[in-house]
Amino acid sequence: MKGSPTKTVCFFNSNKAWGGGEKWHFSTAMELKRRGHNTILVTNLRSQLRDKAVNERLNVYSFKIGNLSFLNPLKLLVLYFFFKAKKVDTIIMNLPADLKSAGIAAKLAGVKNIMYRRGMPHPLRSTWLNRFLFQKVLTKVIVNSEEIGRSLSQDNESWFPKEKMVLVYNGVDTNARIDTSKIIYKKKNNEFVIGNAGRLTSQKGQKYLLEMAEILKTKNVNFHLLIAGEGELKSSLLELIKTKNLQDHVTMLGHVTDMAAFMNSLDLFVFPSLFEGSANTLIETLFYKKPIIAFDVSSNPEIIQHGVNGLLAKAFDSKELTECVERLMNSHQLREEFVSNGEKIVREKFDNKKLIQVLESTL
């Protein structure tokens, strides 16, 4: 830590599943600990975040928190005494349920900085409870894209001032070494390999990948599509692959742990999500030096500058998405240009150390 006094920072995240929010809480807690702060993680009794934090020997505590826990005076009292005992200076919360319970308890306990990290661009409803929490309880709201900031302040300026928002993008360790020695898929007959990674859910838009693949197949394009991830749509996507007779052109990889090996196998990354808060996957793909095509939706333009470090296709338009793919397939020079520009943008805008400094200044 560079000259800043040590703070006790509590990361409060009761989500059981592992996602972008959990990844941010974990990595940020680790980095602040390295900088000399006393970091505490509060998690659900059973969660992947808890398991990872315990493995890294972070200070982990667990409480059972639900959406209505804030109505239970005993739970609020337990949290109140916890924050008092740990002498918490700053709390950073993840879920609305965390905000309602831990936020109120932290306010009562006299915690100076009560912060809530918003990770999705959903509008903020003007309810009496939200007005109370965002006006009287929270001192700051962390947003990881300008799009989320707009969605929060839309129609709410009278009771939720923009000054409370702090923009901290998702980031990557730009000094990390990329292992280029491994691949997860070996090319056949000089085919062009397209990839995608994400949860298999409707939000991630994998159906547009299969529509794109179907168009490419009808044009006799020599390509292969790799889809990494697990989720509730796995069975229906596999069935759609059969229906469209794409078995020879599409491989469902399931959960992939070695993302470097996955990225090393690709010529192009295509990201057809319907909406994003701030896509970790896009930032990481730029870091892995791969050209990107994404839909022109939500916060994607904050990461992908059309014609500079990637292409943005008209939202939910499989035909235009395919045209963008063909454009990059046919231009090695353009792909290299996008990769070079993407590397610069990552270092300027998404360097994790710079972003942690922004957060640290608010603690």
* Domain annotation covers residue 42: yes
**Hey, what are 31's tokens?**
């980095």
Average pLDDT (176-198) is 95
Domain match, 128 and 270 both: no
Say if CB 274 and CB 208 are below 8 A apart: no
Contact status, residue 226 vs residue 194, Cβ threshold 8 Å: yes
Where b means 16+ CB within 10 Å and e means fewer, 233-248 reads bbeebeebbeeeebee
Same domain, 334 and 203: yes
Same domain assignment for residues 23 and 163: yes
Per-residue pLDDT, averaged over 188-194, amounts to 96
Last residue of a domain, one of 168, 183, 209: 168
Rounded mean pLDDT of 201-223? 98
One domain, residues 146 and 220: no
**Do 121 and 74 sit in the same domain of this protein?**
yes
Confidence (pLDDT) at 236: 98
- Whether 62 has a pLDDT exceeding 70, the answer reads yes
CB atoms within 10 A of CB 278: 28
> CA torsion angle for 201, 229, 14, 115 (degrees, to 10)?
-80
Rounded-to-integer distance, Cα 308 and Cα 259, Å: 24
Q: Of 278, 304, 231, which Cα lies nearest the Cα of 24?
A: 278
Residue 280 lies in a domain: yes
* Residue 3 is assigned to a structural domain of this protein: no
41, 56 in Cβ contact below 8 A? no
Beta-carbon contacts of 158 under 8 Å, excluding residues fewer than 6 positions away, are none
| Contacts for 362 with CB less than 8 Å, ≥ 6 apart | 113, 115, 140, 166
Write the CATH number for 17: 3.40.50.2000
pLDDT at 121: 82
Q: Which residues lie closer than 8 Å to 107 by C-beta, 6 or more apart?
A: 114, 136, 137
Asked whether the predicted pLDDT for residue 2 surpasses 60, the reply is no
User: Is the same domain home to 145 and 200?
Assistant: no
Nearest-angstrom CA–CA distance, 154 and 284: 30
Of all residues in the chain, the percent with pLDDT exceeding 90 is: 89
pLDDT tens digits, residue range 99-125?
Answer: 999 999 999 999 999 999 998 888 889
User: Does residue 345 share a domain with residue 203?
Assistant: yes
pLDDT of residue 237: 98
The whole-number average pLDDT for the span 205-230 is 98
Comparing 77-86, 152-161, 211-220, 291-300, the range with the smallest average pLDDT is 152-161
Domain termination site, one of 109, 135, 168: 168
Distance CA 187, CA 21 (A): 34
Using alpha carbons, select from 94, 95, 108 the residue that is nearest to residue 136.
108
- The pLDDT score that the predictor gives to residue 4 is 59
pLDDT at 1 over 50: no
Domain shared by 81 and 146, yes or no: yes
To the nearest whole number, what is the mean pLDDT of the chain? 95
> Is 151 found in the same domain as 224?
no
pTM score of the predicted model:
0.90
Indicate whether 182 belongs to any domain.
Answer: no
**Tens digits of per-residue pLDDT, 137-158?**
999 999 999 999 998 888 888 8
Residue 329 within any structural domain of the chain: yes
Nearest Cα to Cα of residue 29 among 337, 342, 359: 359
Same domain? For 159 and 235 the reply is no
**Does residue 3 surpass a pLDDT of 60?**
no
On whether residue 176 sits in a domain, the answer given is: no
Tell me how many domains the chain contains: 2
Distances (CA, A) of 93 to 12, 13, 209, 353: 5, 6, 35, 21
Residues in contact with 305: Cβ distance below 8 Å, sequence separation at least 6, in sequence order: 341, 345
Inside any domain, residue 340: yes
Q: Do 196 and 134 belong to one domain?
A: no
Shared domain check, 77 and 37: yes
Instruction: Give domain status of residue 146, yes or no.
Output: yes
Q: What does the pLDDT read at residue 119?
A: 87
CB 63 within 8 Å of CB 42: yes
Pick the last residue of a domain from 135, 153, 168.
Answer: 168
- pLDDT tens digits, residue range 39-58? 999 999 889 999 999 999 99
314 CB contacts (<8 Å, ≥6 apart)? 295, 296, 320
109 is in which domain, residue-wise?
A: 8-168
Q: What is the pLDDT of residues 304-335, one digit of tens each?
A: 999 999 999 999 999 999 999 999 999 999 99
71: three-class secondary structure by DSSP: helix
